[in-house]
A and B are shown apart, each in its own frame.
Chain A
């Protein structure tokens, strides 16, 4: 396969994002709910409490993360296909739709807030990523010496 990752067809990218987000969610959920279950259990049952909390909650966290990732990726692909362009706005628009779609059951206020928050967050991420990229790619500039020695 070529090194040009951007040409991967959309369904594969969505699958990849979904799986990656799910895995991240499950692993993070294991850590989070393991600690929480451990701390919320009485002495002597802490190991058991941690494991039962992980078993009950970690897959759900993973599922939520996965749904977010898959939905975002699908929206990103769709927006890309509709706009026929690939740039930073795709992620922001996709984030707006994702946040809105996931919050739709919570009412219109919740939907609006969530959509705007999600879009802003993704815009910030995108901006930071761009800045980091520019920062890394910049050639180290030589210090500029004055042409003539300074007259003291």
Chain B
């Protein structure tokens, strides 16, 4: 909102900051003696060359504190580097795949319930179906996300910025690599599908941000 209300608050803030750095208010200065007599100007504790050491060593955690500094790379979760992006993205997509696969397995299990069996056996059937479907889909989705994130980060580093073109291109490439040994047609399908998914994700991110 600073572009809206910035005009009014800018001026006093500037003067205040000037007063802070100089130790006196430049608007009230008439001669030198009034500067020297102002409290805090000639404070020996502040003028000492080793002043301010009690704050601790601040430069040490600069490196750590820095968030991802590629332009436009700030996503939903604060990420500190491309490895963070990789971990979060892969983990989230894997769990998503696991959940969808598990839900599919659940309805499959419910459909194939043995008739008039004890409830423990019924529970077992459902759990069996879930554990069969869930991890498989999760693994595939995780590998896709891993490839996508690796390519995306490389493109980011290569071009020096992060935008939607990168994401869509990375999605297409990841899809192509994922099905590259299955023949041209499945490869084309997965390419288009992954590019579309990457585009949809970009749109969703825009919507949420």
**A67 to chain B: closest CB distance in Å?**
8
A interface: dominant SS: helix
Contact between A16 and B88 (Cβ–Cβ < 8 Å)?
Answer: yes
A150 close to B (CB within 8 Å):
no
Which residues from B are CB-within-8-Å of A3? 61, 64-65
Contact between A26 and B146 (Cβ–Cβ < 8 Å)?
Answer: yes
Given known A1-B78, A3-B64, A55-B181, contact A19–B94 (CB-CB < 8 A): yes
**A152 to chain B: closest CB distance in Å?**
44
Chain B 60-118 residues near chain A, CB threshold 8 A: 61, 64-65, 67, 77-78, 80, 83-84, 86-92, 94-95
Chain B 124-161 residues near chain A, CB threshold 8 A: 135, 138-140, 142-143, 146
Which residues from A are CB-within-8-Å of B80? 1
Given known A16-B87, A23-B87, contact A63–B92 (CB-CB < 8 A): no
Contact between B181 and A20 (Cβ–Cβ < 8 Å)?
Answer: no
A28 close to B (CB within 8 Å):
no
Given known A1-B67, A15-B87, A19-B86, contact A59–B95 (CB-CB < 8 A): no
Contact between B143 and A20 (Cβ–Cβ < 8 Å)?
Answer: no
**B89 to chain A: closest CB distance in Å?**
7
Alpha-carbon distance A55/B140, docked complex (angstroms):
10
A99 close to B (CB within 8 Å):
no
B interface: dominant SS: helix
**B31 to chain A: closest CB distance in Å?**
46
Q: Looking at the complex, which one of A14, A52, A62 makes contact with B143 (CB distance below 8 Å)?
A: A62
Given known A15-B92, A55-B181, contact A22–B142 (CB-CB < 8 A): yes
Contact between A20 and B146 (Cβ–Cβ < 8 Å)?
Answer: no
**B86 to chain A: closest CB distance in Å?**
6
Contact between A51 and B181 (Cβ–Cβ < 8 Å)?
Answer: yes
Which residues from B are CB-within-8-Å of A63? 94, 135, 138-139, 142
**A111 to chain B: closest CB distance in Å?**
18
Q: Which residue of A lies closest to B150 (CB)?
A: A23
A97 close to B (CB within 8 Å):
no
**B30 to chain A: closest CB distance in Å?**
45
**B136 to chain A: closest CB distance in Å?**
9
Which residues from A are CB-within-8-Å of B135? 63
A91 close to B (CB within 8 Å):
no
Alpha-carbon distance A14/B86, docked complex (angstroms):
14
* 6 pairs of A and B residues whose beta carbons are closest in the complex: A19-B91, A19-B87, A59-B139, A19-B90, A3-B65, A18-B91
Interface residue ranges, B against A (CB under 8 Å): 61, 64-65, 67, 77-78, 80, 83-84, 86-92, 94-95, 135, 138-140, 142-143, 146, 181
23 contacts between A and B (CB under 8 A): A1-B65, A1-B67, A14-B91, A16-B84, A16-B87, A17-B91, A18-B87, A18-B91, A18-B95, A19-B86, A19-B92, A19-B94, A20-B87, A20-B90, A22-B142, A23-B87, A23-B146, A26-B143, A51-B181, A52-B181, A59-B140, A62-B143, A70-B91
